């Protein structure tokens, strides 16, 4: 018997089909329509969000430039035991690849990749590639050593051999201030080159401080928004939303005019004789400027979740607590504050995640001491063109955000986070 045919005792539709089968068919049709409606959004998210993240993660561990440039010398150098210098066939194949790379203009990219691991080595490749075309016959070892004596450095050859593998952990090592030695050991970078761990710590610390200050400043404002009469709360809400109608660049540069040594705040402090003209405060192009500007810009992202939660708390709860003998402070701490924790959690995680990845504000007002890890990622993407290192730094930052989100879920519970 067909699934659509009603059996004895079943309720049927007007066309004789089983009501259960007809309901299942209608449900299936509704699901297909819903899927087709959300398909454009799913495709957009896939193309604009998931695919770039996958490409970033891939680029952080995949670097085939060196292996694609030295296609002749690569297999021979891979069999080298690492003792002394490679044999003459390796030098000959290497000279051939240098000539091809010079002609195809690919030698510069490979030299740059090797220079990431062994600073100062790029000139060895570019100089040799420029002069090796004059050498028609061997021995190529003597010819290349005559062009540049740095070819006699075994560490250079070990670095090339290691970079021949397209799968590498070198970018992640650089991102945590580590590196490979000439013998393949993993050691810490010299003190003067250790910057990324410090930047990660500064980013987390400043993001934490921004979150704390937005809670301190935003909580009273949210409370007023939730408790004032409508005519006053609407005016206050307009003032909270007003920064969203102003360009982020304008808001950031305004703080430069306010905080610089010859700015409004210092001039006012000197005029009030709070400080002397010789002791003007340095609040710009350092961590202080970054902290102040980011707190101001991210403050609405804390106020709105708090307000949406506070608005749902009935005023009768506080009156009931007072009627049962609690004073105003006790009633607030024991009754009102715990009910606002979901809003605090929502605002905190939103502000913290936004602060970790902020770029424009630290770039304009941070100076050397106020730069965050996002500024270094942008530098490697736009100027040094070390996309592998930028991808590794981004991946570590993404992993840190996910770890903090997991920790928040374990300690507080994501179900307790509310936007009202």
**SS3 readout for the chain:** CCCCECCCCCCECCCCEEHHHHHHHHHHHHHHHHHHHHHHHHHHHHHHHHHHHHHHHHHCCECCHHHHHCCCHHHHHHCCCCCCCCCHHHHHHHHHHHHHHHHHCCHHHHHHHHHHHCCCCHHHHHHHHHHHHHCCCCCHHHHHHHHCHHHHCHHHHHHHHHHCCCECCHHHHHHCCEEECCCCCEEECCHHHCCHHHHHHHHHHHHHHHHHHHHHHHHHHHHHHHHCCHHHHHHHHHHHHHHHHCCHHHHHHHHHHHHCCCCHHHHHHHHCCCCCHHHCCCCCCCHHHHHHHHHHHHHHHHHHHHHHHHCCCCCHHHHHHHHCCCCHHHHHHHHHHHHHHHHHHHHHHHHHHHHHCCCHHHHHHCCCCCCCHHHHHHHHHHCCCCHHHHHHHHHHHHHHHHHHHHHHHHHCCHHHCCCC
Residue 322: pLDDT band by 50, 70, 90 thresholds? Answer: confident
End position of a domain, from candidates 158, 192, 226: 192
| Statement to judge: residues 85 and 160 lie in one domain | yes
> Is residue 399's pLDDT more than 70?
yes
pLDDT at 202: 93
CATH number at residue 251: 1.10.3720.10
Asked if residue 419 has pLDDT above 70, the reply is no
Residues 307 and 184 grouped into a single domain = no
pLDDT-derived band at 420, boundaries 50, 70, 90: very low
pTM value > 0.85: no
Last residue of a domain, one of 192, 224, 257: 192
Per the structure, the count of domains in the chain is 3
Q: What is the pLDDT of residues 126-158, one digit of tens each?
A: 999 999 888 888 788 999 999 999 999 988 998
Is residue 144 domain-shared with residue 121, that is, in the same domain? yes
One domain for residues 176 and 323: no
Calculate what percentage of the chain has a pLDDT beyond 90: 25
Same domain, 245 and 345: yes
Flag whether pLDDT at 15 surpasses 50.
Answer: yes
In the predicted model, is pLDDT for residue 329 greater than 80?
Answer: yes
Average pLDDT score over residue span 294-301: 93
Looking at the fold, whether 294 and 240 belong to one and the same domain comes out as yes
Residue 389 lies in domain: 196-416
Q: Do 363 and 284 lie in a common domain?
A: yes
- 73 and 200 inside one domain: no
Do 48 and 77 share a structural domain?
Answer: no
Same domain for 293 and 155, yes or no, is: no
Q: Which of 174, 192, 210 is a domain's end point? A: 192
| Same domain, yes or no: 205 and 174 | no
Query: What pLDDT does residue 25 have?
Result: 79
> Does the pLDDT at position 49 exceed 90?
no
Asked whether residue 333 carries a pLDDT value surpassing 70, the answer given is yes
Task: Give the confidence band of 1 by pLDDT, cuts at 50, 70, 90.
Answer: very low
Looking at the fold, whether 137 and 210 belong to one and the same domain comes out as no
Share of the chain above pLDDT 70, in %: 93
């Amino acid at each position: 018997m067909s699934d659509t045919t009603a059996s004895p005792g079943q309720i049927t539709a007007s066309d004789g089909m089983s009501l259960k089968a007809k309901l299942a068919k209608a449900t299936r049709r509704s699901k297909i329509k819903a899927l087709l409606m959300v398909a454009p959004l799913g495709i957009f998210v896939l193309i604009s969000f998931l695919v770039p993240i996958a490409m970033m993660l891939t680029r952080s561990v995949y670097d085939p430039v060196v292996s694609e440039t030295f296609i002749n010398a690569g297999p021979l150098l891979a069999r080298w035991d690492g003792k002394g210098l490679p044999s003459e066939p390796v030098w000959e194949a290497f000279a051939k690849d240098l000539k091809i790379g010079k002609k195809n203009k690919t030698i510069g990219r490979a030299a740059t990749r090797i220079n990431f691991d062994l600073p100062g080595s790029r000139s060895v490749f570019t100089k040799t590639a420029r002069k090796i075309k004059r050498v028609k016959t061997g021995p190529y070892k003597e010819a290349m050593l005559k062009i540049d004596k740095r070819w006699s450095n075994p560490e250079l050859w070990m670095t090339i051999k290691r970079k021949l593998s397209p799968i590498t952990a070198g970018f992640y090592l650089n991102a945590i201030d580590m590196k490979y030695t000439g013998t393949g050991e993993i050691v810490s970078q010299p003190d003067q080159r250790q910057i990324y761990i410090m930047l990660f710590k500064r980013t987390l610390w400043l993001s934490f401080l921004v979150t704390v200050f937005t809670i301190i400043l935003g909580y009273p404002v949210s409370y007023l928004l939730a408790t004032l009469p409508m005519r006053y709360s609407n005016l206050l809400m307009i003032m909270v939303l007003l920064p969203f109608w102003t360009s982020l660049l304008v808001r950031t540069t305004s703080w430069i005019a306010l905080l610089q040594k010859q700015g409004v705040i210092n001039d006012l402090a000197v005029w009030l004789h709070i400080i002397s003209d010789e002791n003007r405060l340095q609040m710009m192009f350092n961590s202080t400027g970054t902290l102040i500007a980011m707190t101001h810009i991210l403050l609405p992202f804390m106020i709105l979740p708090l307000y949406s939660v506070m608005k749902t708390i009935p005023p009768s709860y506080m009156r009931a607590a007072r009627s049962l003998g609690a004073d105003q402070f006790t009633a607030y701490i024991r009754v009102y504050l715990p009910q606002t924790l979901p809003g605090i959690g929502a605002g905190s995680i939103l502000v913290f995640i936004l602060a970790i990845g902020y770029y424009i504000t630290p770039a304009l007002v941070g100076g050397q001491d106020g730069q965050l890890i996002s500024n270094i990622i942008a530098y490697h993407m736009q100027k040094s063109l070390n996309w592998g290192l930028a991808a590794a730094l981004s991946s570590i930052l993404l992993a840190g955000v996910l770890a903090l989100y997991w920790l928040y879920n374990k300690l507080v519970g994501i179900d307790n986070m509310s936007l009202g």
